[in-house]
Amino acid sequence: MRDFWADNGKAYPWYGNTGSQMDAGMYRMNLLCQDIQIPGTSFNTMDVKMPKKGLTQKMATARMYNELDVTFICDLGSSPISFFKLWQDMIIGYQPTKIPNNPGLYNPDTYADKQEHLAYAQRYYNDYTCDLTITKLEKFGVEKKSEPGLNGAEPTSKRPSEYQKAFKVRLGKAYPYSFNTVPYSAGQSEAVKCSVAFFYEYQHFVFKP
């Protein structure tokens, strides 16, 4: 996934000549994320009739994880749109060639913009999935730190700049299966937003001790 980002992200707003292009894109997504959910779970059940007279038990048979919906605010370069467009094109889409000095899939000089798409390639499952981590932050509840006063003054206490991390949720093997239509309007000025839905295999909570 990192190689695909490095080869085809040159036309994107976060592109830089140094460093990991994928890390730069994820950093922007963290800043532009507006709404996110803590996904819930449910159980499939099976009816067991008459374990006792007149009673029907519902036994849990399989655990189901709800999908994840996330909303992003689009910046001047529409970074969330380009980020998830690139991710979905990597899953199933036209693939880059091995020609020297390939400008990337989204450059106007590339072959993908000038030729008919006759075939698409699908990546292996482990190549396009990754783990997502959701961290619940609280700016209150962090203990103040005492600092010595200057020139014999009384010690002062101030709240540190870090946040309290109430818990974390790790979603294993996630990928964006749906990218909703992004509406643009010439009416009243407001922020442009895009919504992305993720599938994943399982979730793991880590609570603060």
Backbone angles phi, psi at 115, to 5 degrees: -120, 155
pLDDT of residue 69: 92
Count other Cβ atoms within 10 Å, centred on residue 43. Answer: 11
The domain ranges of the chain are: 2-42+62-131+174-202
For 138-161, write each residue's pLDDT tens digit: 766 556 666 665 665 555 555 555
Rounded distance, CA 161 to CA 155, Å?
18
Least confident interval from 49-53, 113-117, 131-135, 165-169: 113-117
| Residue 186 region by backbone torsions, left for phi larger than 0, else alpha for psi between -120 and 50, else beta | alpha
* Exposure b/e, 142-160, CB count within 10 A at least 16 = b: eeeeeeeeeeeeeeeeeee
Q: Percent of the chain at pLDDT above 70?
A: 67
Neighbour-count burial of 108, counting CB atoms closer than 10 A to its CB (0-12 exposed, 13-18 middle, 19+ buried): exposed
For 169-188, write each residue's pLDDT tens digit: 999 999 999 998 888 888 78
pLDDT-derived band of residue 107, with 50, 70 and 90 as boundaries? low
